[in-house]
Structure 1
């Protein structure tokens, strides 16, 4: 997976990257669009935000907001 211009298997690094990127934008829609560019799909679910890796749609985990 990709986070901060490097490949990583550490989900904490990925989730930290996603959170930092969210702080840079005004809307959730813009953030989701930016994350698609990095190869992540963000979907709001009951428990938080489900993060999937594109294009296979492999669920990586849930980011609790």
Structure 2
């Protein structure tokens, strides 16, 4: 979806955007809420944080956080 105001499917760009946005908030719940506004659904798994595109909920990849 959108990272840095441009449409992208590049997981490296998306990961950089998500990490920068995570640094701006106090809690993981707030981070997940903000990212839903950008069109990303974040879900905590055993392997890290799964990133999916909304509204289809298509999985883009997993962040090892």
Q: TM-score range by the shorter chain?
A: over 0.9
What does residue range 1-65 of structure 1 map to in structure 2 within 5 Å? 1-65=1-65
Deviations 1:16-49 (A, max 9, x none): 0000000000000000000000000000001000
Unaligned runs of 5+ in 1: none
Give the Cα–Cα distance (whole angstroms) in 2 for the partners of residues 8 and 46 of structure 1: 26
Aligned-pair Cα RMSD in Å:
0.6
RCO higher in structure (CA 8 A, sep ≥6)? 2
